[in-house]
Amino acid sequence: MLLHIPQVLDSEQVAEFRRKLDAADWADGRETVGAQGAQVKHNEQLPDASPLKAELGKALLTALERNPLFFAAALPAKILPPRFNRYADGGEYGFHVDGSVMRMPDGSQLRSDVSCTVFLNEPDEYDGGELVVSDTYGEHEVNLSAGDAIVYPSSSLHRVTPVTRGARLASFFWIQSLVRDDSQRRTLFEMDTSIQRLTATGADREAVVQLTGVYHNLLRRWAET
């Protein structure tokens, strides 16, 4: 499921992130990937040990905790601390698939079910830099407003096109979902969305309660804790 989540960060938060990232010390992005990824990755990242990465990552996770659309779509069990990257001067990341298992800071493992990118500057500030996600329905180009996020299955083949003017700033991270199967997550998300709409429009309460029960019984069946 490819889903646009608007305004994860508001304009004031984006401005604060930008102020700090514009003054940051960036490192070669190839330091955080394996040999295959290094062949197609040409960007900059905040180093994993950077205090700024930890500070901004914590602020972003706090914002996500307040976003019901993100939680309904991803059903997060674990979230890898967010990373931050910068593409400029022709920087790009060729087609690749994200690693399936990643190490958390505490040494535990995270299975990457859902990938998320949060855009941190406006599309008119740079040329190129589209996130291209390839799935069974073709290729989808994503280039969102500052503060908006996109979530998509980590199993998807994807790339970032070359940035030929300006610089593209973003945060990216991975989620281990309570429900590992993408089609099951989609079913639950669509059901949850329907329940919210029916509730808001004053639909028959007994029917809404029954549908809510179906949602939770499916989640109970599919969830891995």
95-133 pLDDT, tens digit per residue, is 999 999 999 999 999 999 999 999 999 999 999 999 999
φ/ψ of residue 170, rounded to 5: -160, 160
Q: How far apart are the first and last CA of the chain?
A: 21
- Average pLDDT (75-101) is 97
pLDDT cut 70: percent of the chain above it:
97
Give the residue range(s) of CATH 2.60.120.620 domains in the chain. 3-177
pLDDT of residue 23: 96
**How far does CA 120 lie from the centroid of its chain?**
12
More confident residue, 188 or 39: 188
Quickly state the pLDDT bin for 37 (edges 50, 70, 90): low
Quickly state the pLDDT bin for 83 (edges 50, 70, 90): very high
pLDDT of residue 187: 98
**Assigned fold of 182-222:** DNA Excision Repair, Uvrb; Chain A (4.10.860)
Say yes or no to pLDDT of 165 above 80: yes
Give the residue range(s) of CATH 4.10.860.20 domains in the chain. 182-222
Domain covering 3-177 assigned CATH 2.40.50.100 in the classification: no
- Residue with token string 């179906």: 214
